[in-house]
């Protein structure tokens, strides 16, 4: 069970061989994206040189992968993680914490190329397919 981060989705759309192969190898495993990742993809598409074409790709991603909405459980996890990270002197961007909170609440492994940031979160399983 995997929660796919924005960077991995983008690498997949660009056809990065290691990422495409990792998706192929795990095609029978449950995968989802956070609504935060969806929003980041929409933002990237809208600011691109080809917004209509890229929005079609974003919509396709949302058809392939369930989009996990923010829930009270995600927000409970977010609050606890944000406080712990700030106390440790290693704060993260709120969107990264939201994505991590979603993965933790679901019991999913987060798939990201941003291991440096997410490895600060104790108890969050992380993989890099890039």
Q: How many CA atoms lie within 13 A of 39 on its CB side?
A: 10
pLDDT at 91: 86
pLDDT reported for residue 125: 97
At residue 39, the pLDDT reads 98
The architecture (CATH level 2) of 2-127 comes to 3-Layer(aba) Sandwich (3.40)
Residue 31: which H helix or E strand, with range?
A: strand 31-34
Provide the whole-model pTM: 0.93
Domain definitions of the chain by residue range: 2-127
Residues 6+ apart with CB under 8 A from 34: 3, 67, 68, 98, 99, 102, 103
**What stretches in the chain show pLDDT beneath 70?**
none
**What percent helix, strand, coil does the chain show, rounded to 5?**
60, 10, 30
Determine contact, residues 82/97, Cβ cutoff 8 Å: yes
């Amino acid at each position: 069970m995997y929660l796919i981060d924005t960077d991995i989705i983008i690498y997949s759309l660009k056809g990065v061989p290691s990422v495409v192969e990792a998706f192929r190898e795990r095609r029978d495993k449950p995968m989802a994206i956070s609504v935060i990742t969806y929003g980041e993809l929409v933002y990237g598409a809208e600011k691109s040189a080809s917004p209509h074409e890229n929005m079609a790709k974003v919509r396709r991603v949302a058809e392939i992968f369930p989009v996990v909405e923010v829930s009270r459980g995600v927000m409970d996890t977010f609050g606890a993680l944000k406080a712990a990270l700030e106390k440790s002197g290693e704060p993260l961007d709120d969107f990264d914490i939201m994505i991590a909170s979603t993965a933790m609440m679901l019991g999913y492994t987060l798939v990201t190329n941003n291991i440096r940031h997410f490895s600060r979160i104790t108890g969050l399983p992380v993989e890099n397919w890039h």
